[in-house]
Amino acid sequence: MARILSILVGLFFTVALAWSFVLGAITAATDPSPPTAEHEFHLLPKEVHFSFDGPFGKFDNQQLQRGFQVYKEVCSACHALKHVAFRDLAALGYTEAEVKAIAAGFTVPGVDPNTGESTMRPGAPTDYFPSPFANDVAARAANNNAVPPDLSLITKARHEGPAYVYSLLTGFQDQPAELLKEFPDAKTPSGLHYNPYFPNLNLAMAPPLTADGQVEYGDGTKSTVDQMSKDVAAFLTWAAEPKLEKRKQTGWPILGFLLFATILGYMSYRNIWADKKH
């Protein structure tokens, strides 16, 4: 009797679960989701072109150096590059002396050789870019309770990474009147900033690039907000994938070899099995 009762109870729950699943599926298919501000006003990244686009694209070292300058003078105040070492900058065309000077301009955690206590020291080429905050608590306290993300892999972690970074940096604006008219409760909270390229439209980061000439380029390039945004997006693409050029250069010979091997294999097949078919 107990076995029959347990079977009936299990059957009841199975039928109830199946019914709720079917009912939910029918509801999802027939009743459209109510519109939200994020769905209606979120924009895809802008169309922007970089020198490294496409199968034959290459990094522009001058642009990468300009982008690094923007990162160093603007972005590094809040964002780290924990997967990038100072010595990696030699790939951008910096000399050994320049790399040492750049590293020495940053302060990194160290150990006092005399006492063994933790201390801070000037960076060395073998060090990695340090975080500007001691911990997440300090980061939240300085950034409206938000932890600024590490930028080492940001262009790989976001869809259309370079275009996303460029669009985000150039996309800060006032909330559209039609948004507030359609969604009165979607007003940007105090301390946040409206940006249609950010998934939920509001982020804690204030516009980091606010005026033309904010960074003075050493190569004479005019540093408009648009140019600085594009340059730092290119630099962060290199930071996330420094072997991009090498991968493209290696890929073409491999594709050629695979094509040749395929043709050779097909011809061998035809030659070996030609007299075996009936």
Question: What is the spatial distance between Cα 215 and Cα 71, in angstroms, rounded to a whole number?
Answer: 10
Q: What is the pLDDT of residue 144?
A: 84
Mark the ranges of the chain whose per-residue pLDDT is less than 70.
Answer: 1-3, 6, 9-10, 12-13, 16, 22-34, 274, 276-278
Whole-prediction pTM value? 0.81
Beta carbons within 8 Å of 245's beta carbon, 6+ residues apart: 52, 58, 59
Question: What is the spatial distance between Cα 89 and Cα 154, in angstroms, rounded to a whole number?
Answer: 18
Are residues 148 and 139 in contact, defined by beta-carbon separation less than 8 angstroms?
Answer: yes
Q: Is 278 annotated in some ligand binding site?
A: no
What are 239-273's pLDDT values in tens digits?
Answer: 999 998 888 888 778 888 888 888 888 888 778 77
CATH number for the domain harbouring residue 78: 1.10.760.10
Q: Look at residue 189 and tell me if it is in a domain.
A: yes
Q: Is 78 annotated in some ligand binding site?
A: yes
Q: Is 42 annotated in some ligand binding site?
A: no
Parent domain of 166: 45-84+128-246
Domain count, the chain: 1
Q: Look at residue 273 and tell me if it is in a domain.
A: no
Are residues 57 and 97 in contact, defined by beta-carbon separation less than 8 angstroms?
Answer: no
What are 19-36's pLDDT values in tens digits?
Answer: 777 666 665 556 556 677
Q: Look at residue 239 and tell me if it is in a domain.
A: yes
Q: Look at residue 253 and tell me if it is in a domain.
A: no
φ, ψ (nearest 5 deg) of residue 177: -65, -35
Are residues 57 and 248 in contact, defined by beta-carbon separation less than 8 angstroms?
Answer: yes
Q: Is 205 annotated in some ligand binding site?
A: yes
Q: What is the pLDDT of residue 272?
A: 79
Q: Look at residue 266 and tell me if it is in a domain.
A: no
